[in-house]
Chains A and B, each alone.
Chain A
Amino acid sequence: MPVFRVIHNLPHGLLISLGATAIFLSTAAGAKAQDDSAFHEIETKYIFGNFTVGSSTGIEGEKAFEPETEADFGKRGGSYGAGQTALELEYTPNQYVQFEFGPTVSYFDIHNVPGLDDRNMGTINGFEGDFRSVLIDRGPSPIAVTASIEPEFHSRDETSGGKVVNYGLENRLEADTELIKNRLFLGFNLLYEPETTRADLGTWDKESTFGVSSALAFQIIPKVVVGADLWYLRHYDGVTFNAFTGDAVYLGPTFYWQVASKVLMSAAWEYQIAGHEVGVMPATLDLTDFSRERARLLLEFEF
């Protein structure tokens, strides 16, 4: 697809957000000339807005409550909104690993979307866990890498809201590096998520998602970080890349704020700027496997 067409099709909100982000990031070039004594080390886990996750695994003994909401908006026609809030407890038992677990609550607001039943409801929808372990520590290596495995169980389909039995296993490699000490960070994620789902018919349907991401984050003032996140996602029927069904490119701004010493927030809003759906022409986006827009908001309260 020509680049100019992609840019022309971008939502105005995205253009404004990216413009603001570009202005923020452009100041990074002059960051070294500023008084760096006000900027100190920060944990990188949430500075990329939390679609891309940084490598930090927390501080030994740290416990926190983390409500994290992910919302998806927009399908091919009609009105579509679906959200999921994970009410997770996070615990860091030592300097190498971190655990999270908790129930999830989902809500659906779906009207006149082709292929989906109308639905307006909220419900408890299963459990998620996350086990993270340091693979490469920053120090001799300029890049830090953490492995993450996130088992999930859902009793409602995350897209349609229909009753299902769904198991997923989100596997990630989370890497980041400091481009300017304590100021400018670059993050990368590699994602592989197989899922198996049993719906009304009683058969198990398997699917998988593969993704890579890159994100920039700039600490613009102490404890406030802004940035941009870019994801490429591919969806398959089958858990081992059996049948390709579509892909999507997401781009959007990110925001992180260390509100107080024990409280932080992390947010991201991303737009599908390119994509392809097998069997759909013209295939400028994949709005079956992915949404038109997606957002995340995480709060952390350490105790």
Chain B
Amino acid sequence: MSFTSVRSIMGVLPFAAAMLAAVTGAHAQQGAAIRISVKGRHFQPAELQAPANQPLAITVRNLDTTPMEFESVSLRVEKMVTAGAEGVVHVRPLAPGRYEFFDDFHQETRGILVVQ
């Protein structure tokens, strides 16, 4: 391998280290607890409130008789929850704003997380 190739690889190392830190540290923080449930293919409540700039732990309880998958593009999370069970999704600290979430198995089932 040439000197230039080695230099190229060395250039990647800080980036790789930063990504490794992100991978290993993502769940190190505990989040503010938020609860939501699904019943009759509706989120209850359909609008959640959350504090800005701190990690969140959203507990999703499925009260329906079929599985659901809590998912959000902007929150970058998904969690499959079987009928009658509950699951927890951990969300990174968020800037103030409105973040959509939905049930990926029944996409008409939607809600909003309001972060402020």
Note all chain B residues with C-beta closer than 8 A to A137.
95
Contact status of A62 and B78, CB under 8 A, knowing A94-B26, A137-B95, A196-B5? yes
Contact status of A59 and B78, CB under 8 A, knowing A43-B73, A131-B15? yes
A62 CA to B78 CA, complexed, in Å: 8
Contact status of A97 and B23, CB under 8 A, knowing A42-B73, A169-B12? yes
Contact status of A59 and B5, CB under 8 A, knowing A96-B22, A139-B95? no
Contact status of A57 and B76, CB under 8 A, knowing A94-B26, A139-B95? yes
B104 touches A140 (CB 8 A): no
A97 CB to nearest B CB, Å: 5
A130 CB to nearest B CB, Å: 12
Q: What mask results when residues 189 to 200 of chain A are scored 1 for a CB within 8 Å of chain B, else 0?
A: 000001010000
Identify which of residues 41-74 in chain A touch chain B, using a CB-to-CB cut-off of 8 Å.
Answer: 41-43, 56-62
A198 CA to B95 CA, complexed, in Å: 49
Query: DSSP class of A's interface residues: helix, strand, loop or mixed?
Result: loop
A151 CA to B92 CA, complexed, in Å: 29
B5 CB to nearest A CB, Å: 6
A232 within 8 A of B: no
A61 CA to B91 CA, complexed, in Å: 12
Note all chain A residues with C-beta closer than 8 A to B5.
167, 196
Note all chain B residues with C-beta closer than 8 A to A27.
none
A/B pair count, beta carbons within 8 Å: 79
Most buried by B among A139, A151, A206: A139
Identify which of residues 85-118 in chain A touch chain B, using a CB-to-CB cut-off of 8 Å.
Answer: 92-97
Interface size on A, residues (CB 8 A): 34
Contact status of A59 and B73, CB under 8 A, knowing A41-B100, A167-B5, A239-B4? yes
Identify which of residues 1-53 in chain B touch chain A, using a CB-to-CB cut-off of 8 Å.
Answer: 2, 4-5, 8, 12, 15-16, 18-19, 22-23, 26-27
A78 CA to B84 CA, complexed, in Å: 66
B98 CB to nearest A CB, Å: 10
A9 within 8 A of B: no
Partner of A94, one of B22, B78, B100, B102: B22
A262 CB to nearest B CB, Å: 8
Note all chain B residues with C-beta closer than 8 A to A97.
19, 22-23
Interface size on B, residues (CB 8 A): 33
B94 within 8 A of A: yes
Partner of A194, one of B8, B15, B107, B110: B8
A164 CB to nearest B CB, Å: 14
Identify which of residues 271-299 in chain A touch chain B, using a CB-to-CB cut-off of 8 Å.
Answer: none
Q: What mask results when residues 56 to 85 of chain B are scored 1 for a CB within 8 Å of chain A, else 0?
A: 000000000000000111111110000000
A149 within 8 A of B: yes
A167 CA to B97 CA, complexed, in Å: 43
A112 CA to B40 CA, complexed, in Å: 66
Note all chain B residues with C-beta closer than 8 A to A93.
23, 26
- Residues on A lying within 8 angstroms of B by beta carbon are 40-43, 56-62, 92-97, 131, 133, 137-140, 147, 149, 151, 167, 169, 194, 196, 204, 206, 239, 261
- Not counting A131-B15, A239-B4, a sample of 17 additional A-B residue pairs whose C-beta atoms are within 8 angstroms of each other reads A40-B100, A56-B73, A59-B71, A59-B76, A59-B78, A60-B26, A62-B78, A95-B75, A95-B77, A95-B91, A96-B26, A97-B23, A131-B16, A133-B19, A196-B4, A261-B104, A261-B107
17 contacts between A and B (CB under 8 A): A40-B100, A41-B74, A58-B76, A60-B76, A60-B78, A95-B76, A95-B77, A95-B91, A95-B92, A131-B19, A133-B19, A140-B95, A149-B15, A196-B5, A204-B2, A206-B4, A239-B4
The 4 residue pairs across chains A and B that have the minimum distance between CB atoms: A139-B95, A94-B26, A41-B73, A95-B76
- Residues on B lying within 8 angstroms of A by beta carbon are 2, 4-5, 8, 12, 15-16, 18-19, 22-23, 26-27, 71-78, 91-92, 94-97, 100, 102, 104-105, 107, 110
